[in-house]
């Protein structure tokens, strides 16, 4: 199956799901994992708009798996637990790990930095190849999805929670023309309460990677928007 086939099938299913949710649970938090996430989240936004139930603070593309990968690779390399923010999108070069902002701080440079950055961005392909036709990163996705769900549930319970997700992002829209962009967010009982400009604090290397991929991300977002215009 080509990426376009995957998009058309999953976009169609997600228009159906979003339409049903708009009617049955219009105030829910929607956590989208269907790939390609970069295009399917805009599919949800556009579909919900058609039903006048769209609330950008309650729609999330789940990119937690990218962060789990970055954390795992950095933790293995440095022999201690490391938290690495990962921003941008959720496909290949649009996934940009920000090792310069890792906590506790770590130092990667040169070829090693290139290698780690590439491995986070293309880790999904590595899993597909390792499973040799047996599927994709199903269990790690389940773990990542559960982690993000737990954050949303904690926020619904009244606590503010820091997370990273692919969400409507007015800063990125102004800077790059990308209406959606994965970044650090604060969650509260009604959804997103703050969207941070994580890239502003990143290294020159990381900001260059963001600048190099935004055309692709814009195209992928438009693909989702155009799909809904052609269907609804
Ligand atoms: N966001 C991420 O990090 C991430 C990671 C891995 C996989 N994924 C994506 O998650 C999705 C699911 O992956 P999977 O490995 O669980 O796939 P899968 O094929 O194992 O499961 C898909 C499920 O969807 C159901 N389904 C099919 N058509 C449907 C419809 N019209 N309405 C409702 N349900 C329908 C199928 O019955 C099946 O149970 C894929 O889009 C995959 O690309 C995302």
Q: Are 58 and 149 within one domain?
A: no
> CATH number, domain at 26?
3.40.50.720
* CATH number of the CATH domain containing 195: 3.90.110.10
Judgement on whether residues 27 and 91 belong to the same structural domain of the protein: no
Q: Is the pLDDT reported for residue 1 higher than 80?
A: no
How many domains in the chain? 2
Distance 34 CA to ligand 1 centre (A): 6
- Determine the pLDDT at residue 130: 93
> Do residues 74 and 140 both lie within one domain?
yes
Which candidate, 231, 224, 172, 226, places its Cα nearest to that of 42?
224
51 lies in the same domain as 100: no
Asked if 184 and 224 sit in the same domain, the reply is: no
103, 167: one domain:
yes
In this model, does residue 207 exceed pLDDT 80?
A: yes
pLDDT digits (tens, 9 = 90+) for 147-176: 999 999 999 999 999 999 999 999 999 999
- If you measure from the C-alpha of residue 93 to the centroid of ligand 1, how many angstroms do you get, rounded to a whole number? 22
Provide the domain limits for residue 43. Answer: 3-62+219-231
Determine the average pLDDT of the residues in 60-83: 98
Atom of ligand 1 nearest to the CA of 144: 3
Q: Are 49 and 101 part of one and the same domain?
A: no
Nearest CA, atom 30, ligand 1: 13
Q: Which atom of ligand 1 is nearest to the CA of 137?
A: 6
Pocket test for ligand 1, best of 21, 66, 141, 146 (most atoms within 8 A of CB): 141
Same domain, 85 and 177: yes
Confidence of residue 4 (pLDDT cuts 50, 70, 90): confident
Pocket, ligand 1, Cβ cutoff 6 A: 10, 13, 33-35, 37, 62, 65, 90, 135-138, 141
Minimum CA distance residue for ligand 1 atom 29? 13
pLDDT of residue 65: 97
Give tens-digit pLDDT for 98-155. Answer: 999 999 999 999 999 999 999 999 999 999 999 998 888 999 999 999 999 999 999 9
Active site residues: 90
Going by pLDDT thresholds of 50, 70 and 90, the confidence category of residue 182 is very high
């Amino acid at each position: 199956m080509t990426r376009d086939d995957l998009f058309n099938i999953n976009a169609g299913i997600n228009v159906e799901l979003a339409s049903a949710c708009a009617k049955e649970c219009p105030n829910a938090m929607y956590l989208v994992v269907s790939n390609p996430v970069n295009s399917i989240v805009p599919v949800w936004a556009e579909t919900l708009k058609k039903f006048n139930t769209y609330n950008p603070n309650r729609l999330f593309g789940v990119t937690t798996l990218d962060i789990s990968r970055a954390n795992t690779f950095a933790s293995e390399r440095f022999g201690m637990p490391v938290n690495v923010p990962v921003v941008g999108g959720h496909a290949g070069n649009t996934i940009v790990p920000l090792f310069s902002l890792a906590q506790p701080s770590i130092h990667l440079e040169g070829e090693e930095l290139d290698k780690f950055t590439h491995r986070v961005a293309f880790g999904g392909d590595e899993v597909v190849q390792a499973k040799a036709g047996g599927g994709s990163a199903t269990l790690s996705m389940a773990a990542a999805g559960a982690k993000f769900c737990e954050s949303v549930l904690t926020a619904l319970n009244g606590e503010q929670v820091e997370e990273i997700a692919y969400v409507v992002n007015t800063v990125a829209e102004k800077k790059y023309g990308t209406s959606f962009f994965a970044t650090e967010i604060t969650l509260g009982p009604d959804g997103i309460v703050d969207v941070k400009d994580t890239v502003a604090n990143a290294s020159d290397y990381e900001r260059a990677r963001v600048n190099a991929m935004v055309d692709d991300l814009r195209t992928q977002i438009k693909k989702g928007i155009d799909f809904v215009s052609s269907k609804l």
